[in-house]
A and B are shown apart, each in its own frame.
Chain A
Amino acid sequence: MNIYKCIHKVCTILMETSRSICIWVLLLVIFIFPINIGAQELVLPKDSIITINLDEVILISAKKTLDYHRQPKPLSTLDEYLESSKKVDMVKRGAYAWEPTLNNMFSERLSVTIDGMRIFGACTDKMDPVTSYVDVSNLSQAHIASGQQGTEHGNTIGGAINLELDRGNFKETGLYGGVEMGFESNNQMGVVGAELNYSNSNFYVDTDVIYRKAENYFAGGDEEVEFSQFEKYNFSANGGYKIAEDQALTASLIYDEARDVGYPALTMDVSLARAIIASVGFEQDALWGSLNNWKSKLYFNKVTHVMDDTKRPDVPIHMDMPGWSDTYGFYSQAALQAKKHQFLFKVDGYYNKSLAEMTMYPNDPNELPMFMLTWPDVRTANAGVYAEDELDLNGSFLKIATRMTVQNQNVADEFGLNSLKIFYPEMEKSKTRFLKSISGQWHKMWMPWHFNAGLSYGDRAPSVTEGYGFYLFNSFDNHDYIGDPGLANEKSMEANTKISWEKSKLKLSAEANFFHIADYIIGEIDPSLSVMTIGAEGVKIYKNLEYANLFNTSLDMEYAILPELKWSGLISYHRGTDNNGDNIPFISPFSYRSGLQFDNRSFSAAFRITGAGKQVNYNPEFGEDQTQAYTVCSLTFGKTFKFNNDSMYAKFGVENIFDENYSTYTDWKNIPRMGRNFFLTLSYSIN
């Protein structure tokens, strides 16, 4: 690792000397392409569904297509892949387990699934978003759907992220494998991965393993961010077997474990975050009548999360905060094609147990420990039906989708129920809610023009934290939060539109969506309550605001200067206000990205700029302060080498070239992002 540090230093010095030249080049680039230039969006070839939906697909696994060049950084974390999406921003509490937000909405307003499986983090402080329990080695792509277009796997307000597992899928590829290695200079992260797969027309099995270890990272200006280390490994296996020509059994297993994960923005770290995710499925080409493509799955997952503050100096009181989340679920779906209709029907259900506790150890060892249940063993039983239809209307398409769900939440632990009854003496042990969603999305083409418009309505139940959380400390706004089991469902009325102009060389699109969210759930200060956490400023109770409005708009552009050379870019603007016109927290300021990409199949190079303007609309009541403008640049090179049948792909790059010390609006407590970072990844695939 020391050698590695040296290389980092040498490169850093080289960079410093060339800094002025680089800035000059940069200015020139911006001058020539005044509107924008942007990162290449990794969109798969579009099928009809994708053209109707304003969905986005992030390609994660390139090995099936050997299309490594489209990946900006092959062995980066899943979080970095998601961040490359146009609609996703990642909330950072450290270097690990970033929380995805979509349309400026957080986990509780999103449906995040793994191959359609529901899974819920076990941390009351959102240190373990679902996306932290898989790794890029498990996945083929991430499917991102905005707003009510994401209700296929569950009720949502902001949208859905479905992570699709990578699998052989009965292709005649035979035995193949690969080894991958990656290094990053800034936090001395080492990544080692391997995979071994076999697939034929009757049987397939995919296995992979990946290990990552990183030390503290350094923000711009060589500022060490303490407690930002992490270590994780992940193993997955999935397979399929055809029991008949048109029937197949599938199974998948993921084991993911992270240890010694630092969260510099929080007061605690994590000693263990572990998930076991398993499923068995059955697929059949035809069901009865014209129903076909029948897929069913039974799954379970078990998440264990243990927070730890023993390595922190000067904690006012030492505490243990473990959490557990177990989910059992199923779904079954079938499609139907009839003349101008394309139907999809789905039934699904899950049962989740969420339990979290907190034990605080007084400084006086003679005193008994203080114990409370922060999630009182909430049992959520959820069952829903989903149906969609894509209608061909001669020259335009209309997609209508609806979901009906019934959800019951039950506080199973008597201790926890009595705790909550201190606040809500009248509360019932069990509460049932009905959730619904309906959306219509229309797509009209007048070549080269495309016009998309959608209207939808949907609602969601409060999350376990919002409904039943007990003295959960939020370090961002420095308040203790208490849930309210009597909260009304949050309801969203949404409109979206997109207009685009596409010719072979130039693509331009403008897009906007607007959410009017009635009964918006957010914490409100209750001055009568006494803070539990030492040093906290107050206590907030989750309440329904009358409404909140969110608006997102973006302008996207792509221009092929040469077949191998592309400019692309994106600018976006976001706004969120409540019924009093006050700012909603965590709304992105004006932001932009632009880039130049060269790719001739054996060699690739890319230069990217991302940045944001100064945050104008923020809300100090939620701990926000004004985030300053920033611009960061990155440069990557990739090269494929062929050895007989095998191939090796190498990618080298530097991120944050000018070592800018910056933080974005999603950085918890303004922890600075990583400074200059050199990375090198090597992928060797054996066919």
Chain B
Amino acid sequence: MKTIKLGLVTILAAVGMISCSSDGDDSPKNDVNPLAEFNLIANIEANGHSLELYSEGKTGFTTGYNELFVRIKNNADDTYYTNPEITWLPVMHMMSMNHSCPISELSISDDYDTVATGYIVFQMPGNTDEFWDITFTYEVEGQEFSVTETIDVTAPSDGKQAVSSFMGSDDVRYVLAMVEPTDPKVAVNDIKAMLFKMESMMSFPIVENYSVALDPRMPSMGNHSSPNNEDLTYDAVTKAYNGKLSLTMTGYWKLNLKLLNSTGEVLKGEDITDENEASSLYFELEF
């Protein structure tokens, strides 16, 4: 009995080995295109590589929060590099100066090792005289490359404000960007925003532990509000500000905001009263 069992185990193990080795065959990892459902919004060709930039919902770069997916293709054999190390730096070339904007690092996504993800918050669109470009510095197969490409950043197609760059009462310049909701509904929506401070022309670190008071209004319908909204508070895990946004009907909503620092001091924005119909700090939604 014992020998028979042992024999069975051996056979099973052998079969297992064979199937494993066939798995380990060097067929390309990108059999399934992980970004098939996404929009390719830029394809930068340089150094025999193609840098592909994807967005989940957008068809181009827009002002506000842009979540982006980047991968690098070896044009020689149409394969994508795994675990590329990429850094990026968007720069706005204005008439009088250059500056960057809030960005995250590009990190390899959890699901696919060929795809790096991150975000860029453009505070302003480009125009005929002023433009944005992005410089990518990346290392593949032990060699470092760099490429700079001009990109077209426009206001969102609905023209609604999803980012605000402003000077706080503490004389610090901040950038506040709405991350969610991307698909607002007549319901209680999760609202998520990110707050950055302009430390220098090129450095925009995340601001922690402030809060953002929320008062959504419909200016076309008597400037009425909605119940059970929750102000946005800082979440250390996501490094973002989360709150609840109640939208009682479709249409145009103005999300009036107030930025408060960690001691509760108002840095920007005003309360809505009969005399004051809107705050100077706001986002807009229309659906």
* Chain A residues close to B by CB (< 8 Å): 316-317, 358, 360, 362-364, 367-372, 415, 418-419, 421-423, 425, 470-471, 528-535
Contact = CB atoms under 8 A, between A and B. Distances in A.
Contact of B228 (A370, A371, A425, A535): A425
A106 to B, nearest CB: 26
Contact of B226 (A358, A369, A422): A422
8 contacts: A362-B220, A368-B287, A372-B249, A419-B249, A422-B227, A530-B225, A532-B224, A533-B222
A429 to B, nearest CB: 14
A124 B220 CA distance: 23
Interface stretch (B6-14, B54-62, B183-191): B183-191
Given A360-B221, A362-B221, A422-B247, 11 more contacts: A360-B220, A367-B220, A370-B220, A370-B250, A418-B187, A419-B249, A421-B187, A471-B248, A531-B224, A533-B222, A535-B222
B188 A425 contact: yes
Given A317-B220, A530-B227, A371 B187 contact: no
Contacts of A425: 188, 228
Nearest to A371: B250
A360 B225 CA distance: 16
B251 A368 contact: yes
Contact of B249 (A317, A370, A534): A370
A44 B268 CA distance: 77
Contacts of A317: 220-221
Interface string B178-198: 000000011110000000000
Given A317-B220, A363-B220, A418-B185, A371 B248 contact: no
Interface string B206-242: 0000000000001011101111100000000000000
A157 B83 CA distance: 73
**Interface centre among A370, A531, A534, by most B CB within 10 Å?**
A370
B248 A372 contact: yes
Contacts of A415: 185-186
B251 A362 contact: yes
Given A367-B286, A423-B227, A534 B186 contact: no
A367 B253 CA distance: 10
B224 A367 contact: no
Counting from the closest, the 4 A-B pairs by CB-CB distance are A370-B251, A418-B187, A362-B220, A530-B225
A412 B283 CA distance: 33
B227 A371 contact: no
B199 to A, nearest CB: 38
B105 to A, nearest CB: 36
A421 B287 CA distance: 19
B227 A529 contact: yes
A664 B278 CA distance: 44
A372 B250 contact: yes
A418 B220 CA distance: 23
A208 B91 CA distance: 81
A219 B188 CA distance: 49
A530 B225 CA distance: 5
A422 B287 contact: no
B73 to A, nearest CB: 40
Nearest to A370: B251
Nearest to B225: A530
A360 B185 CA distance: 17
B246 interface: yes
B252 interface: yes
Nearest to A317: B221
Contacts of B186: 371-372, 415, 418-419
A369 B248 CA distance: 13
Contacts of A360: 220-221, 249, 251
Nearest to A364: B220
Contacts of A531: 222, 224
B227 A528 contact: yes
**Interface centre among A360, A371, A530, A531, by most B CB within 10 Å?**
A530
A367 B218 CA distance: 11
A370 B285 CA distance: 12
Contacts of A372: 186, 248-250
Contacts of A471: 248
A533 B228 CA distance: 19
B248 to A, nearest CB: 6
Given A360-B221, A421-B188, A531-B224, A367 B252 contact: yes
Contact of A534 (B188, B221, B248, B286): B221
Nearest to A418: B187
B169 to A, nearest CB: 28
Contacts of A421: 187-188
B217 to A, nearest CB: 8
Contacts of A528: 227
A663 to B, nearest CB: 29
Contacts of B225: 530
B267 to A, nearest CB: 26
A317 B251 CA distance: 13
Interface in B244-279: 246-252
Contacts of B226: 422, 530
Nearest to B224: A530
Given A317-B220, A368-B287, A370-B218, A422 B246 contact: yes
Contacts of B224: 530-532
Nearest to A367: B252
A435 B125 CA distance: 63
Contacts of B188: 418, 421-422, 425
A577 B251 CA distance: 42
A370 B286 contact: no
B286 A368 contact: yes
A360 B246 CA distance: 19
Nearest to A423: B227
Contacts of A368: 250-252, 286-287
Nearest to B220: A362
Interface string B23-51: 00000000000000000000000000000
Contacts of B218: 370
Given A372-B186, A419-B186, A425-B188, A534 B222 contact: yes
Contacts of A532: 221-222, 224, 248-249
Given A421-B187, A422-B187, A371 B220 contact: no
Contacts of B221: 317, 360, 362, 370, 532, 534
Contacts of B228: 422-423, 425
A532 B227 CA distance: 11
B266 to A, nearest CB: 22
A423 B228 CA distance: 7
A362 B185 CA distance: 19
A363 B224 CA distance: 16
B78 to A, nearest CB: 43
A376 to B, nearest CB: 10
A537 to B, nearest CB: 12
A364 B251 CA distance: 12
A532 B247 CA distance: 12
B170 to A, nearest CB: 31
**Interface centre among B186, B188, B286, B287, by most A CB within 10 Å?**
B186
A322 B249 CA distance: 16
Nearest to A361: B220
B157 to A, nearest CB: 13
B8 to A, nearest CB: 54
Contacts of B187: 418-419, 421-422
A363 B218 CA distance: 13
A471 B251 CA distance: 16
A649 to B, nearest CB: 55
A481 to B, nearest CB: 14
A581 to B, nearest CB: 31
Contacts of B227: 422-423, 528-530
A358 B250 CA distance: 11
A94 B222 CA distance: 28
A190 B84 CA distance: 85
B252 A371 contact: no
Contacts of A529: 227
